[in-house]
């Protein structure tokens, strides 16, 4: 492609609303443009990258036995009512009505669609197993879309679904897709970790997330170097020790604690460690009051609470002051004794002795409180958020923490959707059975963002060859020089004949602009045709190293072909 005809509106400065490197660089390089909050257009360079990521995903899905289909973006309300998720999915769902007042949504995911499709077609165990996928635009009305295409309201996603005869077969399909996803992310050149995840609104019994490591990632993972333990911070079990076995119980006592509303204030005033000051989290769950109590030195893990309550997270809100007063309590002084509402307690509280709680009265707390003697509630094994200093439950070694971007996830759905949507088949005994399902997703456009986050410097992006918009860029230093033009054209045509994707910078621009744009857009292999063109000498460099070497045009051609053959021709065999 000749750049004098190429649509690539680059920017010299970072856009003001861009926060992270990938957002800034993709905008500056003229690869994307913002249309509205969370909505982006992909320009020629950017869309070439998206298509390459998409094709890698497609190749591996096909290689691992999945069959591609294409389904509508618009999904009817009826199938979401069958699964029970029309109301529970939350405000992230875009809803609309047609001219006949029939309700639809713009698909945020496709479990319902695929289940509805299969239940009308697959009648017998002889037609199983089945593994089908699509690469389709998804829509989620994010409360706060940010970080460019990393968290947008419209995004491209590969979603696959497996249908099997029993739980064992579902597990085999799950591991098959696990391996396929590993190959995809290996081919993309991403540094990632696979961690246990929270199933959330998807449901099911088991899930894992593929997390591309990045300091700007919104997700946090924790793992141990001494075991296989690895999980998101939402999923990780917290090993929290209480050493009160030999402590003698004391009688509870109401004490004055003027203006002490926070754990820190109460702890300092009463000279009690924060762990022995019970933290109250005052919530309204589906319109009803629920108070959660945890050790005062920890934070509540909302994902674990949602999993226990089995209700959508958007149905959980913090109590307003009037809600607390309606319970005959006082804001900042909520405690479990005498409280007339649902009380949920982390199991570690049961092991504690002589702790401090709010007295449900302004400026008062009660000390030396003990579970069972002074109050009771619903015990949940673990409601705590993992934090620095926590240890691996198995080896007791310190956990390590990293931030990352979720680029893929896999779920064992079990029979959640097949039962709710009455999707059945006949087994070998002629008996009706519900499908065992798996769900799998790769964020195609989010993967593009993750690749940039892991591959950039202060000059611009550094695309891995496998997803680069072009393999090679040839820069003509002076387009008025006939010898430079002739040599550049010769190399350009020669590489094109070998199927190499080449960008020829023949623009009538200052050479400094060309070099800056070249660094910014991150084409991996670079040939500069300059003042030594008459001697058949060019400069060759790789974007990752920026080290220039002088070569003859033939040597430069051979160098390019050597790198491309080593990195692209056998790429599938390298990673599978």
Number of domains in the chain: 3
What does the pLDDT read at residue 177? 98
What are the structure tokens assigned to 494, written together?
A: 């020669």
Residues 484 and 431 both lie in one domain: no
Residues 520 and 430 both lie in one domain: no
Percent of the chain at pLDDT > 90 equals: 91
Examine the pLDDT at 574 and tell me if it is beyond 50: no
Residues 556 and 522 both lie in one domain: yes
Residues 61-109: tens digit of each pLDDT: 999 999 999 999 999 999 999 999 999 998 999 999 999 999 999 999 9
* CB burial of residue 7 (10 Å; 0-12, 13-18, 19+): exposed
Q: Indicate the pLDDT class of residue 393, thresholds 50, 70 and 90.
A: confident
What does the pLDDT read at residue 575? 44
What does the pLDDT read at residue 199? 66
Domain interval for residue 227: 15-69+108-236+401-453
Examine the pLDDT at 572 and tell me if it is beyond 90: no
Give DSSP secondary structure letters for 263-284: HHHHHHHHT--GGGBEEEEEEE
Which range among 129-133, 190-194, 564-568 shows the weakest confidence by mean pLDDT? 564-568
What does the pLDDT read at residue 166? 97
Residues 301-340: tens digit of each pLDDT: 999 999 999 998 989 999 999 999 999 999 999 999 999 9
Say what the alpha-carbon torsion angle 113, 116, 122, 124 is, to the nearest 10 degrees.
130
Domain assignment of residue 464, yes or no: no
Average pLDDT over residues 544-552: 96
Q: What is the CATH number of the domain that holds 371?
A: 3.90.960.10
Torsion-angle region of 473 (φ positive above 0: left; ψ -120 to 50: alpha; else: beta): beta
Q: What is the CATH number of the domain that holds 565?
A: 3.40.50.800
What are the structure tokens assigned to 143, written together?
A: 């409360």
Residues 487-523: tens digit of each pLDDT: 999 999 999 999 999 999 999 999 999 999 999 999 9
Residues 331 and 374 both lie in one domain: yes
The candidate with the shortest Cα–Cα distance to 110, out of 506, 440, 568, is 440
Q: What is the CATH number of the domain that holds 133?
A: 3.30.930.10
Domain assignment of residue 179, yes or no: yes
What does the pLDDT read at residue 571? 45
At residue 10, φ and ψ (nearest 5 deg) are -75, 160
Distance CA 19, CA 150 (A): 11
Domain assignment of residue 241, yes or no: no
Residues 32 and 169 both lie in one domain: yes
Three-class SS of 211-251: EEECCCCCEEEEECCCCCCEEECCCCCCCCCCCCCCCCCCC
Residues 434 and 539 both lie in one domain: no
Residues 189 and 214 both lie in one domain: yes
Domain assignment of residue 5, yes or no: no
Domain assignment of residue 245, yes or no: no
Percent of the chain at pLDDT > 70 equals: 98
Last residue of a domain, one of 380, 410, 444: 380
What does the pLDDT read at residue 204? 60
Domain assignment of residue 81, yes or no: no
Domain assignment of residue 264, yes or no: yes
Residues 27 and 62 both lie in one domain: yes
Mean model confidence pLDDT for the chain: 95
Residues 155 and 49 both lie in one domain: yes
Domain assignment of residue 486, yes or no: yes
Residues 40 and 152 both lie in one domain: yes
Taking the model in full, what pTM does it have? 0.91
Residues 474 and 449 both lie in one domain: no
Residues 148 and 179 both lie in one domain: yes
């Amino acid at each position: 492609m000749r750049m004098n005809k190429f649509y690539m509106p680059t920017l010299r400065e970072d856009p003001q609303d861009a926060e992270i490197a990938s957002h800034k660089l993709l905008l500056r390089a003229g690869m994307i443009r913002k249309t509205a909050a969370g909505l982006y257009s992909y320009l020629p360079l950017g869309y070439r990258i998206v298509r390459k990521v998409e094709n890698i995903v497609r190749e591996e899905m096909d290689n691992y036995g999945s069959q591609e289909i294409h389904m509508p973006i618009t999904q009817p309300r009826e199938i979401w009512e069958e699964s029970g998720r029309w109301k529970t999915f939350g405000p992230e769902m875009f809803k609309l009505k047609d001219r006949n007042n029939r309700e639809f949504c713009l698909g945020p995911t496709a479990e319902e669609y695929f289940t509805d499709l299969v239940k009308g077609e697959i009648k017998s165990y002889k037609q199983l197993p089945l593994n089908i996928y699509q690469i389709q635009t998804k829509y989620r009305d994010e409360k706060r879309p940010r970080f460019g295409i990393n968290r947008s309201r419209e995004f491209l996603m590969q979603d696959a679904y497996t249908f099997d005869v029993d739980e064992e077969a579902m597990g085999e399909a799950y591991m098959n897709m696990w391996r396929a996803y590993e190959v995809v992310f290996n081919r993309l050149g991403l540094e990632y970790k696979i961690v246990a995840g929270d199933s959330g609104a998807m449901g099911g019994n088991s899930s894992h997330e593929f997390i591309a490591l990045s300091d700007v990632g919104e997700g946090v993972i924790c793992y141990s170097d001494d075991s296989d333990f690895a999980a998101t911070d939402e999923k990780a079990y917290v090993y929290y020790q209480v050493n009160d076995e030999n402590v003698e119980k004391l009688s509870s006592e109401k004490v004055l604690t003027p203006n002490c509303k926070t754990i820190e204030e109460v702890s300092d005033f009463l000279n009690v460690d924060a762990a022995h000051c019970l933290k109250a989290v005052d919530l309204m769950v589906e319109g009803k009051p629920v108070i959660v109590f945890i050790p005062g030195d920890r934070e509540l893990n909302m994902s674990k609470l949602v999993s226990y309550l089995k209700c959508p997270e958007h149905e959980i809100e913090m109590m307003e002051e009037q809600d607390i007063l309606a319970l005959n309590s006082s804001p900042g002084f909520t405690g479990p004794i005498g409280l007339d509402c649902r009380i949920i307690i982390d199991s570690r509280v049961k092991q504690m002795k002589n702790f401090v709680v709010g007295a449900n009265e302004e400026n008062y707390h009660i000390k030396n409180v003990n579970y069972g003697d002074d109050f009771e509630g619903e015990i949940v094994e673990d409601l705590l958020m993992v934090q620095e200093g926590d240890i691996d439950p198995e080896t007791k070694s310190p956990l390590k923490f990293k931030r990352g971007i979720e680029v893929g996830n896999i779920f064992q759905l079990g029979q959640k959707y097949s039962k709710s949507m009455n999707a059945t088949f006949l087994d070998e005994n002629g008996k009706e059975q519900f499908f065992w399902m798996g769900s799998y997703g790769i964020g195609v456009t989010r993967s593009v963002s993750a690749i940039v986050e892991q591959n950039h410097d202060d000059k611009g992006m550094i695309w891995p060859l496998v997803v680069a918009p072009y393999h090679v860029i040839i820069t003509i230093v002076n387009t008025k020089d006939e010898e430079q033009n002739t040599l550049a054209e010769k190399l350009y045509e020669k590489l094109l004949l070998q199927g190499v994707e080449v960008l020829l910078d023949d623009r009538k621009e200052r050479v400094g602009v060309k070099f800056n744009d070249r660094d910014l857009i991150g084409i991996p292999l670079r040939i500069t045709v300059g003042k030594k063109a008459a001697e058949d000498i060019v400069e060759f460099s790789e974007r990752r190293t920026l080290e220039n070497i002088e070569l003859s045009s033939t040597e430069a051609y051979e160098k390019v072909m050597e790198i491309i053959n080593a990195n692209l021709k056998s790429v599938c065999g390298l990673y599978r």
